[in-house]
Amino acid sequence: MPTYAIARTGTGGTGVLSTTNIGSVITLPAGGPWIIHSLWGQVARTTTVPNEGAGGVLVINSVSGDITPDPAPGQWPLIGPCVSESANAAIAAVPLNIWETLLEGAGKAQVQLKYINQLAITTGSDVAAGIIFGTEVPAPVRAPFCAYVQDSFASATEQQLGSITLAEKATKIVGILADLNKGDAATAGEGIMATIRLASNDIKLPPSEYPCNRAFNASDGTAVGQSATPRSAFIPVDIPVVGGAIIDVFATTVRSITGNADISVYLAYE
């Protein structure tokens, strides 16, 4: 059975240890049992106030009570950006937190993702999180083919980045990497975070909502300094395809921005 991926976005709280839901409840498809083998999250500041950091804990809760083991405690690290030391803070890359898990969910099981804010912050951070699951755990990515598509946009409305036509020998997608970049001038008070989605008119794809490998804090004042780049890696998946299939790639940013977000999506397949 193929790999499924469902993403949620939301806004974190402002108080110390405040807990907020990240989007709505996630309902697993009928059938199963499903193995939730990856849990991911990102957190980025929407303003850059001196001496305020972001990050905390990513929580997965069983709403329906049919996740085995019931994920309690299901409290995973959600590493965020450290404090800015002055008002002149540059745009800064935030890493993707992705953790290997081993939870089993029945068909139609429901989970809620939550964010526990570690430190007090003036404005709630942007938060994205999701689960990746299937009937089997995908193997590490080793693939003979890799293709990509890219585009730039500024609207928070979902945009189609383009389409990838798989080789005639293609049998399955084994890895996905989405990169969010910022090539245009940064605007003060605008963080950038995005998720991507795969679809196709040629084959029936499972829900395929994946994170980007980095997000960006908002900059503030007259920005100085240079952003570091986190390590990138493909997310292992197992999605059967047919040769020559066209995969449409879409992306959505959490909020509208003044200058474009630049998103590239790579599909590794065999």
CA angle centred on 241, ends 9 and 24, rounded to 5° = 15
Residue keyed to tokens 């745009």: 91
How many structural domains is the chain composed of? 1
Domain encompassing residue 109: 4-269
pLDDT, residue 96, reads: 94
pLDDT, residue 190, reads: 80
pLDDT, residue 51, reads: 67
pLDDT, residue 119, reads: 85
Q: What confidence tens digit (pLDDT) does each residue in 229-242 have?
A: 777 899 999 999 99
CB 168 within 8 A of CB 250: no
pLDDT, residue 227, reads: 61
pTM: 0.92
Mean pLDDT per segment of 10 residues, for the chain of length 270 residues? 93 93 96 94 82 86 86 86 64 88 94 93 92 95 95 90 97 96 77 94 95 86 61 92 97 87 96
Cα separation, 152 vs 130, whole angstroms: 24
pLDDT, residue 45, reads: 85
With a CB cutoff of 8 Å and minimum separation 6, the contacts of 65 are none
CB 94 within 8 A of CB 44: yes
